[in-house]
Structure 1
Amino acid sequence: MKIKLYTIIAILVTFFSYSQANKPISRMIFLDSLDTETSQGEHLYSRIIKNYFSDRTSYEFTEYYKSGNIKSTGITKNKDYLEIDGTYITYFENGKKESISNYKNKKTTGKSFNYYDTGNIQSEIEYLENEDEFAVNYKVLQAWNKENQQVIFDGNGKFESFENEHYIVNGIIANGLREGKWEGYNKSNTIKFIENYAKGKLISGITTDSNGIEIPYTLLFEKAKPEKGLKHFYDYVRYNFVRPNETEWQNTSGKIHLKFTIEKNATVNNIAIIKGINEKLDQEAIRTIQTYNKWLPGYSRGLPVRVQYRIPITLPSNK
């Protein structure tokens, strides 16, 4: 059945992509675990961007698991990478709905609904307007356990849930916010942590890693960053990007969009072009990023983590 379903998807893509005198309309891409474009068969999931080859302010997209089952659907402002705007729906691979949320200005906003893979509702959450991306920005309004028993009533009760698909956390919710002592562990049960909250704000936390070492922290997440700041990084890119000597490349302008991963040891890896200008300039952009190696790693609950960056490199015309 899964093979047949995936065949149907391929047929639909062909229909979407070639009509009106064989002019391409939509595009299907295959992506790996790092959201990098790859070949069919090596992919983890695929994405269809409707009307990709036309100029629009937004594009409908649908993603599929490798099995062919639907993974997510929504609208993106950028056709080359997801900049979700409006309603975004995700699905478990068994076909059950996983979440319904809304995005505005690259942030989740308003009410969001999460579900168990059985189809039962898990939680109703309200996201708040907040300029600080690491500050408390949501309230838990209602929640249910796996047995479909309600455990949070109008923002109050004891809550246990998955967090970012990696951790299971539990503690008290008061007026929609975390309060007092919270405990958690990762799915493999090799990392545990204890945290203290006041009105949703993290006061302190201690992670115990797989070797039994305790690591204190006061921030849930710290993004990887250049040692000397983002300005130093962008200045480096600006002054070290070398155009080919040919006149045609000297006068070329535009933006090269690329992404890369800062590993746990602060090295740069997995540099990939999202949307380029041409092969020579794209390769120079990759070389420039590779040669900048003065990064500080990202941290999650005191432990180093991989962090992905997505940036544009703007090339002004030399005319």
Structure 2
Amino acid sequence: MKKKLFILFLLVLSLNTSAQINVVSKKIFLDSLDREATPENYSYTRVITNYSQKSVRYVVTDFYKNGRKKMTGATLDKDILKKDGQFIYYYKNGAKESVVDYSEDHKKGKEINWYENQIKKCEKQNFWDPKTKKSQTLILNFWDPDKNQTVVDGNGEYEETDKFITQKGVVKDGLKQGVWQGNDILRKTTFINNYDRGILISGVSSDENNTKLSYSSLNEKQTGKKAEKKK
């Protein structure tokens, strides 16, 4: 009898603990474009661990469908991802992809990236000025998949893939310089950009119908509209 009561007590305790965890945390389903999705149609899940608690920062962890971590870090807003502090990103096989530091949702500090086989890919230094609202990234070192270092101390040839965009070109003093070529698989476009000390000064993109768009700023490239000149 005592044994049955003890088992019943453990069962009730387990249910109560589970209920507390469900109250504290929140699970969200997201698609490949980071938009909220349904449990039947999602790419990964996000769990905010201390969601129901009032806190300065909330622990956030993304999971692939296979149950492995995709990303982990902290957010300043429990309902909107506002990255703050160190974030660690992972490949689907569990290997570490990158370690990035953030300050109020802006990259700030050292950033390290690896290939899926754990060969180091690149080292960057990110800057963010909250007063001027300007950011800058210096590419310090880069290795290709065959371990050849093509950027040394901020100078050399660099190639990057950021979600849907792949591009390559020359780096000088850590900044993009001259002609860079690339493609955007999401918008189905190819492009040629011209940089001067990391600043985009001109570019041309072509879509799948060979329709060309010229631009002189990143905003023009993204919106497809020319900026109005102030009178």
Which TM-score tier does this pair reach, normalised by the shorter chain? 0.7 to 0.9
Q: Does 1:72 align with 2:67?
A: no
* Contact 2:189/2:206 (8 A) holds in 1: yes
Measure how far apart 1:188 and its partner are: 8.4
Q: Does 1:18 align with 2:16?
A: no
What residue is the counterpart of 2:90 in the other structure? 91
Q: Which amino acid aligns with 1:175?
A: D
Separation (CA, whole Å) in 1 of partners of 2:30 and 2:188? 29
Q: Which amino acid aligns with 1:68?
A: G
What residue is the counterpart of 1:170 in the other structure? 168
Residues 1:60 and 1:212: Cα distance change in structure 2 (over 3 Å): same
Identity %: 34
Residues 1:30 and 1:129: Cα distance change in structure 2 (over 3 Å): closer
Deviation digits for residues 155-208 of structure 1 (CA, Å, limit 9, x no counterpart): 00011121x322221111110011111111234895221121111111211112
1:187-206 equivalent positions in 2, closer than 5 A = 187=185, 191-206=189-204
SS at match of 1:182: strand
Q: Which amino acid aligns with 1:216?
A: S
1:83-122 equivalent positions in 2, closer than 5 A = 83-122=82-121
Separation (CA, whole Å) in 1 of partners of 2:187 and 2:104? 36
Separation (CA, whole Å) in 2 of partners of 1:25 and 1:189? 39
Uncovered stretches (5+) of structure 1, i.e. residues with no partner: 1-13, 223-298, 304-319
Q: Does 1:300 align with 2:222?
A: yes
Separation (CA, whole Å) in 1 of partners of 2:182 and 2:172? 18
1:206-225 equivalent positions in 2, closer than 5 A = 206-222=204-220
What residue is the counterpart of 1:59 in the other structure? 58
What residue is the counterpart of 2:3 in the other structure? none
Deviation digits for residues 208-240 of structure 1 (CA, Å, limit 9, x no counterpart): 221122211011235xxxxxxxxxxxxxxxxxx
Length-normalised TM-score, structure 1? 0.59
Residues 1:168 and 1:82: Cα distance change in structure 2 (over 3 Å): same
Q: Comparing both chains, which one has the higher relative contact order based on Cα–Cα distances under 8 Å and sequence gaps of 6 or more?
A: 1
Length-normalised TM-score, structure 2? 0.80
Count of residue pairs the alignment pairs up? 210
1:235-274 equivalent positions in 2, closer than 5 A = none
1:33-52 equivalent positions in 2, closer than 5 A = 33-52=32-51
